Structures are given as structure tokens and as C-alpha cells.
Chains A and B, each alone.
Chain A
Amino acid sequence: MSFSLKKGETFGTAQIILFLSIAILVIVVAVPVLLIFANAFWDNNGNFNLHDVMNVLREPDTYQALLNSVIIASGTTIGSTTIGTFFAWLVTRTDLPCKKFMKAMFLVPFMLPSFIGALAWKMLLSPRAGYINRFFMDIFNLDEPFFNIYSYLGIVLVEIMYLFPFVFIQVCGALERMDPTLEESARISGAGLGTITRKITIPLVLPSILSGALLIMLYSMAHFGTVAVLGIENGIYNIPTLIYERIHQSAGSFESIRTGTVLASVLVVSAAFIIWMQNKILSKGHFQIIAGKSFRPMELKLRGLRIPLLVACCTYIAITIVLPTAVIFLVGALPTYGMPFTWENLSLENYKFILFDNQLTKDAIFNSVSLGLSAALITMFTGVMISYVIVKMKVRGKGVLEFLGMLPFSVPGSVIALGVILAWSGKFGINIYNTVWIILLAYIARYMAFSLKANSAALEQVHDSLVEAARACGATMWQALKDIVLPLVRPGMLAAFFLIFLPSLRELTVSIMLYAPTTRTIGVAIYTLNEDGETVVSAALAGVALVLIITGQSIINRFIARTTKG
């Protein structure tokens, strides 16, 4: 044990660190969430009032939003799980050509913000103006659009495109680590490859499939962007979009806050339930199927299906990744939305405009980058401290911290946003509403989970004996921390930094609820410009965001490749 409680020596330090960690989590996460529950379940006379909660839930709008969240999340989960598992099986267990490339491509949607994707699909498939719809309507003289993206099916399909990698990456990992003799012994028992896949392979990776599916469920329930871009037009709201709508439209009236907090409570409870299920599945059903020494796993020979499946994969990649990305950049180069993509029409004017001339977009880029950097730095350092207490220290009162440490994982973005509004617009004598600070605070709360995860993983690798050995050599506790622990957890800290910095560049859910005219982020700017009908400017800004994100990601990938090699 690195921190002993020998009285007098480290008692003070350990308690201070523990206290600090608890304080941070309480202020940043627990208070906002508690305020949400308080507002939802207690009326303004201070009485516990379940009756009103039920009334709010029975209102047709709220009820419909809850139902929509469930419908969209279920559809997305089923679709993404099916596609993700199928592609994972295809790139790990068959002789599909160019499997490495395919695998890399299937992970690209991780990088792309789904609301930008939704924007692209809106440009392609909106019922009247969408390029694809217009194309088919012109060619076949149709009166009806070819496909209406403003629909449940449209929303679900777009979410599937961007969420299936969650299942894909989990199942790929499980299939790659699985002992191939488990499948070979089924083969020698007389099972053909189809039977093996059904009876052995899929059941063995089922825990990974389910855990990925639950992750998608969680994400989709609380997902704002896609539904905001594609649903609101047709009156389809889910929980986060309805919260936004209410808070935004009615400027903080009691009724709207009531509805918002009740919906947010529903989100927190469902998120907690999903995470609990996931832990249960992972701890109970996780089979020991890891290979010792092994050969390459068997590959199903696709034979006649090899080329058709290759074509299908390439088509999928072209339609879901290349096409929307290209449309964003192309529309960003047009003078007005709806013009054909001819050479004369395309120019870099919009890009110049947003980067150099337009105050709003310049502010947005500056805000997002500085918010992302500060949130990433602060969250990285506090995360490493809190993880250290949870993973390594033995002090009384740690249980409280462990519980608090679970919170960030189950609090979706829109809940955090609502929570910080309740907490920091004057209630405790501090009013930072309408400033960047409230966004920063919300970012820290939102991304704390990433930092805790990366840092605990790194710290768990540092065996206690390493610190003990240093202490035995005569190092003081601080020297041991500085010279032994810190260098060993540095990769975890860096991972945490990037895990926070990149997503915060494209954040929408939280900042849309908190922005003021001068504190727009990139995400907010893209969204509001699009709402205001400035489609081409919004597309150009989305293009710039994509360039930023992809550049950042490639730097990280190169960096990770270098650190893991040597």
C-alpha cells in the first residue's frame, strides 16, 4: 500500500486529497444532479410531490417525447447491434479482401459528429430540397419525395450510421482475443462453419455484443443532435430536445423548469439502470475465452459471396461516410443552398468568410478551442487525483468517493446542462449564467467520466510494490509519486486529455443549452446558422470542424503508434 495511515506522517495529506476529491465531484456533478431531483420531486412549498411529477409525465408532449426516446433508442440499438456484429464478424472471421482497411473505415464514424452527419443527410434527403430527393423527383417525375429524412426511420438510420462502431469495436476485440481452439474443437466435433458461428462464436461473444448494445441505448436515449436536426421539423421530439425546447422557449419559467427536471430525472434513472445492467452482464457473463498461444483463427471462405460482400462493404462506406462528408464540403462551397455542384458555382468564399470576416464564427472557433483545452487540462488533472484516491489509497470515507465517481458515467449531457443552470444562476450567490464559465463547468462534469476511466485503467497497471520499492529505497511519498507513479500514468493522462479535447471541439448537447450571444461554440454556431437558414455558411463551418477533428485525430493516432512502439 502506497499511502499508509501511519499517524502523523501522511494522515493530513491523505485526508486533504480525499476531501478535495469529494468536494470537486460534489460541486461539479452531485449538486447539479441533486438540484434536478429536488426541482422535480419537491414543489415550491418544499413538499415532496409525486402527484405533480405524474401529471407532467402524463402531458401529451412529455409522454410523446419519452415514447420517442424509447422508440428511437430501440430502433438504433437493434440496427447498430446487428450491423456492428455482422461487420465485426466479417473483418475477423472471413476471408474478405482488404480486411485491415475495412476495419479502419468502419471506425471512422467514431470521429464524425453525428449532428454534422444529420445535417449532411438533411441536405441530401430533406423532402423538398434534398439533392437526392430532387434528383429522383426530376428523373421519374415523382410528386412525392423519394425518402423523407424527417421521420423516425430517417432519424434511426442516421443514428445507426454513427453509433454502430460502439458494438463493432467491442465485438471485434472479443473475436480477436477469443481462443481459436474453441471453434476448432466444435469443427472437429462435426459442426460446419454456420453451426459454429450460431452455436459457439456468437454465444461466446454475446456479453460483448450486449454491452455494446447497452452503450448505444444509453447514448441514443440522451442524444440531442440528430433528433434536433431531423426531428423538430416534423414535430418529433425526444427527451433532450424537449428539455432544450422548453428551457429555450420559455426562458426559465417555473413550468418549463419543472418539465425539464422531470424529464432529466427520467434520463438519469434510465442511464443508471442501463449502466447497472451493463456491469451485471460484464461481470457475470464474461467468459474466460482469451487465447493462450494460438494460430490464426479459422477463416470462413466466402467463395462466391466474397466479391459481392466486398462491394456491399465499399458501398456502405461510400454512402455512409464519403457521401455525407463530401456533401458538407461541397455545400460549404456554394453561394446558396440548392444550386447544382458545377465548377462555376464552387468557391472558397464561405470558408474565407467564416475564418476571417464573420465575428460569430470566429468567436465560435476560439470559444470551442479554448474551452476544449481548459476543460481537458482541468479534467485530466482532477481525474488523475480522484482516480488515485479510488484505486490506490486506503482512507476512511473512500466509499463516498467511489459512489460519487460512478455519477459522471450516468449523467447525460442535457441533464448536466440543466443542472448547472439550476445551480449557478444565482441560487448559491454565484451567477455565471450566460458566461463561458458555466459552459466550462458543464464540460468538466460531462467529461469527468472519460478522465476517470482512462486514469484508473493506467493506475491499476501500477502495482503497489513499485511504490513500496521506491519507499524502501528511501524515497519520500512525494518523491515516489513524482518519480515512479507519475511517469507510469502519464500515458493514461494523455489519453484522458485527448479523449476530452477532441469531443469537446464538436460538443453540441451541453453548449446549446448554455450559450449566450458571444459564447457560442462551434457546434452551437453550426446548429443555429442552419436553423436560421444560413445553410451554406453552416456547412462551411461544419467542414472546418471536420478538418480540425480529423487533423487532431491523426496527430493522436501517430502519437499513440509511437508511444506503443517504443
Chain B
Amino acid sequence: MSYVRLVDVQKRFGQVVAVDRLNLGIEKGECFSMLGPSGCGKTTTLRMIAGFEDLNEGEIHVGDRLLSSSRKRFYLPPEKRDFGMVFQAFAVWPHLTVYENVAFPLRLRKLPTSDIERRTHGALEATNLLDVAQKSPASLSGGGKQRVALARALAINPDVMLLDEPLSSLDPHLREEMRFEIKDLQRQFGFSIIYVTHDQSEAMALSDRILVMRLGVVQQIDTPLNVYSHPANRFVFSFIGLSNFLDVERDGDGPCRVAGGGGTLPVSPPAGMGSRLSLAFRPQEVGFGTKGTVDGEVQRKSFLGEVVDYQIKVGEQSVRVQTGRRSPGPEAGETCHLDIRRPFWYPAEEPEG
């Protein structure tokens, strides 16, 4: 049985269903990320786990403890859950020193003074803050403040660490560095991480598993590799990484044609998907081939450093292709033929409404 369990959790704010029928299990020591566009319910889920929000349906357990239950109207208050939590806006207390910030949760637990000192020291050491322990956190940079927040969360040695976009207030360079620091701390202390982000590369780099969410509904829960290479649906495919979609048509079991002109496809979808389909592929998984494949015309070619990026017109649709900078390719204005190496098939997109 998983360590943290969310069973049929639902949360509504008035008419808005922020989180719908969420079932989730997170293992001990796992790094689990929640990923999705803005407003999809990531923060709400995390705050329900932390105990800041009540549930409209469902239950939350950690180990053999019941934390929240809408049916029993039981909610263990956040201060009794013994989690560590880090917020986006740092939330370090400017009227206390760095040391006092980190010692705060330990003091509340009425530990012996020597224990408090030892564990505060340990947390400060792990986050490289010993030098600034007596300073005010207001005098630190954004990265420094976030380290204080991390140390404070670590101090009680929690089993579960909740992180809500902890790095998105930092500049990109620092963000990458802190990512690895968090991972190192996890290895050292062995806590589970529940990590909220809308930065997919962050989620990929850190996580054992990723949850992709949309409008409060879970789309896929899987390892980073599987989410990327076996996306569960069209939304996940388009949300993770770069993506292309081509509308295609088909008569019965015949070959597929690109809608609006652009040739016939050499590959066929699995049977029984209907006559109007979407062909999805990644820009990196296309090559320039010989005649007989999809025909297109290069509209724009841009050199981006290691890769060359093409905007290609296929009939009335447009796709993006990226190749290595050394591989040969057509110039802007020339016609070309696309060789799609890894096609994904999805039902044609419903008209927006």
C-alpha cells in the first residue's frame, strides 16, 4: 500500500470544480510531481494534503493515519500533520534570524535545547546556511531565502515534503542549481516529495513519477519517460514537449490523406478509429525523406544553435520540424518531403466550444 493515499478526492469552490475524483498513491521516499497549466488544481491538491483546505468528497491518509475525511468531517489541523512545506514566495519570517526561522518548528515541539541546537545546525549545514545563521533572512537573495525555507521544512525531519512551485521565483540559472540541491537533500534525508510545478523540465529532472492534470481532472500518472514517449492522450502529448498535429482523413480502411492537401501518408493508424483523425508527432522525430511521403514547402528556416528549426506548410496546415545543425535540409521556399518516424494517432479534435 502506498504511503500517502488520496481516495476519490473532490474539491469545489462554488461552481468551480478545482479537483475532481482524484485517486493517488505516493510511495515512501518517492519524488512525485504534479504538472499542469495554470488553474488546473495543483495548488489546491497540495493544500488539501497539507490540511489548509477541507474536502468536498473523499479521504486522505498517510501511512496508517487518517488526515482528512469529508464523510467523517474529520480534518487533522495542518500543525499536527508533521509535514515540511515550501511556498513559492519564500515565506521566511523577516523579524527572526535565519537560525530562529529554522529552530521555530523544533521549539514548538518542546525538544530539549541541545536537540534543538543539534538539529537546527544539521539543517543549516545541509542547506549551506551556517555562515548566515545569525543574519536576517531579509538580507539574503531569493535563492538564500528559499534555502532558509527548505532548512525550516527539513528541521523536523518530515516524512513528506510539500513544495509549491518553490523555484519559480528564482532566476533560471539558480533554478537549475536548486533543483539538484533538493534532490540531494532527498537522498540524504529520505523524505517523500510532492512537488507542484508548471515547468515540465523541472518535473522531468526531479521526479520518479509525474501526474499531469487538466481542469482538475487527472490525465496521466507515470514515469517521466513514459509520459513523454507514451502520452495517454492528446492533451498530455501537447503539454509535454514540442508537438505537431496534422488533421487527416481516410475512406474506410484506405490510406490516410492530409486534410486540405499535402499528400498521402505511408503509415496507417490502428483499425477502427474512424475517418477523421489527428496525426501527432514531435518536431525532432521527423526527417526529410524522398518523394512519396508528406509533401510540404519550407516557409521559414531558423538557426537556433544546436538545432535548425523549420516552419513547413503542408497543404493548408503548418508543422514544425527540428533537425541537428549538421544534417542537410532544404532552404526557405523550397519544397520538401517529410518522413514521420514516430506517429501517434488521436481522434480528431472536437471543435472548440
Question: Which A residues are within 8 Å of any B CB, using their own CB?
Answer: 179, 181-182, 184-192, 195, 199-200, 203-204, 206, 287-289, 291-292, 294-295, 298
**Known contacts A189-B79, A190-B156, A204-B94: A184-B105 contact under CB 8 Å:** no
Q: Across the interface, which residues of B come within 8 angstroms of A179, CB to CB?
A: 89, 91
Residue in A179, A186, A203 whose Cβ sees the most chain B Cβ within 10 Å: A186
B87 contact from A185, A191, A206, Cβ within 8 A: A185
Asked if B95 contacts A181 (CB within 8 A), the reply is: no
7 interchain pairs, CB-CB under 8 A: A184-B91, A188-B50, A188-B85, A189-B79, A190-B82, A190-B105, A287-B94
Question: Within 8 Å of chain A (Cβ to Cβ): is B346?
Answer: no
Instruction: Check A184 against B108 for contact (C-beta < 8 Å).
Output: no
Residue on A with the closest CB to B82? A190
Q: Is B52 an interface residue (CB 8 A)?
A: yes
Within the complex, the shortest CB–CB distance from B314 to chain A, in Å, comes to 41
Closest residue of chain A to B158 (Cβ to Cβ) is: A188
Give, as a whole number of angstroms, the nearest-CB distance from B174 to chain A: 18
Q: Bound state CA distance, A448 and B113, in angstroms?
A: 56
Q: Output the nearest chain B residue to A179 by Cβ-Cβ distance.
A: B89
A181 to chain B, nearest CB (A): 4
Total CB contacts across the A-B interface at under 8 A: 74
Residue in A184, A189, A203 whose CB lies within 8 Å of B152:
A189
The answer on a CB contact under 8 Å between B95 and A204 is yes
A-B complex: 10 closest residue pairs judged by Cβ atoms: A189-B105, A181-B91, A287-B94, A181-B87, A190-B108, A188-B85, A185-B91, A203-B95, A187-B78, A190-B79
Whether B83 and A188, one on each chain, are in contact in the complex, defined by CB atoms closer than 8 angstroms, is: yes
B138 within 8 A of A: yes
Compute how far the CA of A190 lies from the CA of B78 in the bound complex, rounded to whole angstroms. Answer: 7
> Assuming A186-B104, A187-B78, A288-B94, is B52 touching A298 (CB within 8 A)?
yes
Verify if B55 is at the interface (C-beta below 8 Å from A).
Answer: no
Contacts of A206 in B (CB 8 A): 95
Chain B residue, CB-CB nearest to A192 = B79
Q: Is B296 part of the contact surface with A, judged by Cβ < 8 Å?
A: no
Question: What string of 1s and 0s marks CB contacts (under 8 Å) between B81-112 and chain A?
Answer: 11111011101111100000000110011000
The residues of B that contact A288 with a CB separation of less than 8 Å are 94, 138
Q: Which single member of A186, A188, A195, A295 contacts B81 (CB below 8 Å)?
A: A188
B138 touching A181, Cβ below 8 Å: no
Residues of A within 8 A of B94 (CB): 204, 287-289
How far apart sit A1 and B109, CA to CA, in the bound complex (Å)?
57
**How many angstroms between the C-alpha atoms of A288 and B50 in the bound complex?**
25
Q: Which of chain B's residues have a CB closer than 8 A to the CB of A292?
A: 88-89, 169
Chain B count of residues within 8 A CB distance of the other chain? 32
A287 vs B47: C-alpha distance when bound (angstroms): 26
Set of chain A residues within 8 Å of B104, measured between Cβ atoms: 186, 189, 191, 199
Contacts of A298 in B (CB 8 A): 52
Q: Which residue of A lies closest to B104 (CB)?
A: A189
Whether A191 contacts B89 in the complex (CB less than 8 A), given A185-B152, A288-B138, A298-B52, comes out as: no
Partner of A185, one of B77, B109, B149, B169: B149
What separation, in Å, do the CA atoms of A191 and B88 have in the docked complex? 20
CB within 8 A of B79: which of A191, A203, A287?
A: A191
Contacting residues, chain B, for A289 (C-beta < 8 A): 94
Check A184 against B156 for contact (C-beta < 8 Å). no
B223–chain A nearest beta-carbon distance, Å = 29
Give the nearest-CB partner of A202 in chain B: B95
Q: Are B109 and A190 in contact (CB under 8 A)?
A: yes
- Could you tell me the distance in whole angstroms from the C-beta of B78 to the nearest C-beta in chain A? 5
- Given A187-B77, A188-B51, A289-B94, 13 further pairs, Cβ under 8 A: A179-B91, A184-B78, A188-B50, A188-B79, A189-B79, A190-B79, A190-B80, A190-B109, A199-B104, A287-B138, A288-B138, A291-B89, A294-B89
Docked complex Cα distance between A189 and B79 (Å): 6
Which residues on the A side are within 8 Å of B109 (C-beta)? 190
CB pair A182–B93 under 8 Å, yes or no, is yes
Q: Which residue of A lies closest to B136 (CB)?
A: A287
Complex Cα distance, B42 from A440, in Å, reads 63
Min Cβ gap A210→B in Å is 13
Chain B's closest residue to A183 (CB) is B91
The complex places the Cα of A203 from the Cα of B95 at a distance, in Å, of 7
B123-150: contact bitstring with A at CB < 8 Å (1 yes, 0 no)? 0000000000000001000000000010
What are the residues of chain A within 8 A of B80 when measuring CB–CB?
A: 190
Complex interface: chain A residues within 8 A of B79 (CB) = 187-192
CA distance A186 to B80 in the complex (A): 12
Chain B 44-56 per-residue mask, 1 if CB under 8 angstroms from chain A, else 0: 0001001110000
Docked Cα-Cα span, A187 to B82, in Å, equals 10
Which residue of chain B has the shortest Cβ distance to A298 in the bound complex? B52
Contact A188 B84 (CB under 8 A): yes
Q: Which residues on the B side are within 8 Å of A287 (C-beta)?
A: 94-95, 138
| Residues of A contacting B156 in the complex (Cβ-Cβ under 8 angstroms) | 189-190
CB distance from B64 to the nearest CB of A (A): 21
**Whole-angstrom distance between the alpha carbons of A191 and B106 in the complex?**
10
Which residues of chain B are within 8 angstroms of A291 by Cβ–Cβ distance?
89
Question: Which residue of B has the minimal Cβ distance to A185?
Answer: B91
